[in-house]
Amino acid sequence: MNTNAFSYLLPGTGSHVASWWNDLFSFVMWISIFFFVLLIGITLAFVYKYHHKKVDKVIDSHGNTSLEILWTIVPTILVLFIFAWGWLVYKKMHRPPAGSFEVRVIGQQWRWKFAYNNGKNTVGELIVPVGKRIKLLMTSEDVIHSFFIPDMRVKQDVVPGLYTALWFEAIKPGEHVIYCSEYCGGLHSNMLATLKVLPQDEWLEWWRTQEKTERDLSIPPEKRGEGLAAKYACMSCHSVDGSSLIGPSFRNLFGRTEKLTSGKSALVDEDYIRNKILKPNSDGVVGYPQVMPSFQGQISEEEIMDIIAFIKSLKD
């Protein structure tokens, strides 16, 4: 695996993203060393060559155009090159590849909660298989937190009222520290969690064992979502078979683009649905009356996630 001369200055290298950052870091280090040696070398050479015992007359010099152009152009090209490299890695780091394995992350003063697609939930422990792309879909129940796995070189703010995402692919089994890296209140420094990367067979074994907690976790999230949609009476206005009732049907809703009364259009993604549940009439959908009640304060983030899973599952 990728290691380089400066790896010892960095946290462990747990993902491909991490080794891309390592490469950029070592490039910057080598450039710095090269120019340090070059400039100090030239300085020392001049100090020696022109010290007072050797020359008694100082030459009056007023600039050298070609030298000045050179030391403007070379650093400009170098910093632009470093910027472009960083930008490319940042883009790769930021966009979860399609088909990633999704885990939902909820930040709360002062713990990290993880919800998996088969209904498993963990607190303070993110358990993933090695060699799989993991997408984290994250939100907060209270204040802004920041989800940071130094060994994976990924970090992202976790914001109430918004979904943000991260992805990584662990390259070997092991344990890594997860930090909250944004001051979020008195026990911020306790807001640690562990990333456990398991070999695929071990992970599968963990994945299949059932545990009971407050939500019925033997049920997959889209099934729980279906139950919640009934509980909150969503079905009196939204059908699941594609027919329009008072509101748009849930069938094939996720991923569609809706025309809004403000003239804008909006992609129906996780954020859109969450907003509609909490602030339904801020910008209505063309063709439907603005009569949906807000579920702010009545529904938990976990329940919203289950309902989103339900809507996602209604695809032809």
Question: In the complex, which residues of this chain contact ligand CUA (CB under 6 A)?
Answer: 107, 110, 145, 180, 182-184, 188, 191
CB of 132 to ligand CUA, least distance (A): 26
Cβ closest to ligand CUA, residue 87 vs residue 183:
183
Q: d(Cα 271, Cα 164) in Å, to the nearest integer? A: 9
CB of 243 to ligand CUA, least distance (A): 44
Q: d(Cα 273, Cα 254) in Å, to the nearest integer? A: 9
CB of 81 to ligand CUA, least distance (A): 35
CB of 110 to ligand CUA, least distance (A): 6
What is the per-residue DSSP string for 253-316?
Answer: TTT-EEEBTTS-EEE--HHHHHHHHHSTTSSPBTTS-S-PPP-TTTS-HHHHHHHHHHHHH---
CB of 68 to ligand CUA, least distance (A): 48
Q: d(Cα 196, Cα 7) in Å, to the nearest integer? A: 22
Cβ closest to ligand CUA, residue 222 vs residue 301:
301
Cβ closest to ligand CUA, residue 38 vs residue 192:
192
Q: d(Cα 216, Cα 24) in Å, to the nearest integer? A: 46
Total H helices, total E strands in the chain: 6, 12
CB of 91 to ligand CUA, least distance (A): 27
Helix (H, G, I), strand (E, B) or coil at 224: helix
CB of 143 to ligand CUA, least distance (A): 7
Q: Provide the residue type at 111 as one letter.
A: R
Q: Establish whether the linkage from the previous residue to 112 is cis, with ω within 30° of 0.
A: no
**C-beta separation of 182 from 160 below 8 A:** no
Cβ closest to ligand CUA, residue 82 vs residue 159:
159
Cβ closest to ligand CUA, residue 94 vs residue 111:
111
Cβ closest to ligand CUA, residue 109 vs residue 117:
109
Q: d(Cα 271, Cα 119) in Å, to the nearest integer? A: 21
Cβ closest to ligand CUA, residue 93 vs residue 191:
191
**C-beta separation of 154 from 93 below 8 A:** yes
Handedness of CA 11, 15, 16, 17 (dihedral sign): negative
CB of 140 to ligand CUA, least distance (A): 8
Cβ closest to ligand CUA, residue 191 vs residue 292:
191
